[in-house]
Chains A and B, each alone.
Chain A
């Protein structure tokens, strides 16, 4: 069968890029020594570099990439709209606002889980708003307009919070929160995000059959035994968990959830259920590749991941809008 082959191919790609991600970095450690340091802890400096800097970075790329791909595929399946993407419709931006609030009110310092929880809360508000504004009958235009409104609001409030911070560095970090980066993250961030993401992945993974049925519209899906209320709750909860946790530790990274499902849709026969798993793997591969690229292109600077994903994603987004318009949706 073609689908298992596709998944196996994507999984291999993720493994290869994961290994690549572990081997790229300014420390210039030879692969054999890198492996020895990572697995057996040989050499203090090498072990610190491999285990505390590169491993969390590669793990976060996989986790966040898979989350964004999965959330994008799920949102698109639910809204039956290929333009739905957590970053574009303001979910990531609202999650960033939540994270920034937790950091700058001191909540995150007092209680570590406050950071992902606040980001999750921001994401829930945004998903709820988007579904309320564009969910049932809203077409592409409503969706994009709602996304612009939510993004603008979240971006402005994030800037405000950062500007009010007593920390002189904070105000300059709006770029990080809007574009995202995995530079210099640690295992602390992995453990902070993983539980929420695992819950989100589990919630989104159950949506497959419901999303397939939704291909025929809400009424048809309901009479095929799908509970739309439950589906909507799982989608909101799952998307908020994965996007919230990812944004809390790496900022808002856009377009992954747009590009990956779009590329993979023809390979899964456009079936929303199959697109979920494929997009999760594809998203992990795309973010790993992007994170390797930012280190190769400008090794000295912390080039933001969102810059690369937007360079790939924005032209595709324009193309999709053009096609949507032509189809008169």
Chain B
């Protein structure tokens, strides 16, 4: 009996230590990326290429999901607000929930699964096929040439994608509530404009998505760079990227929201 308890406790301790170790490793890796970022900015073409793969190619999924999320918010909000006789406030509901939470978070989650996993798989495969070692042989630092452009590409892309997500979501909400459910268009916009504050809602949403961009890109490049150089290893790393970025996004969101709320009062 005592043996099982001890074993269980050891497992918990082991898992905790491994998680903490992993977080520490990602942070150290982030530091290394930043140290080797000089090349990315001197040869900005490298970053532009990554913005294309991470950002431009994620456009469709982000725009379409933004539109759908906005439409659903409009429908649900209208349904509930109507019973209080304030269906005009649906614009406020759509805009604020998109800007403060859904825009940054959902687009970061989509970005992690669409672009983050691709980054991990690409770097992992480069490592498995010894392309990274070959670069080192030619005195090219793979951190500077391969990892850091992908990192910065992700960091630049996500805020843009999140902004587009929010804009698209508001259009979706407008479409459903004003065009379909006949909410007054003037009230929809004016109530929204009265409630949304540039600094407290728009800028804070941007800050969130920049933080998420750093987290997702760091995790994705880290998992790829540290992936065991086998087919299995790369597939495991891809899965881990999606899982740990999603958890990181949600945890950071709670933290950031708590801090920003504190600043409001």
Partners in one complex: no
Interface of B with A (CB < 8 Å)? none
Interface of A with B (CB < 8 Å)? none
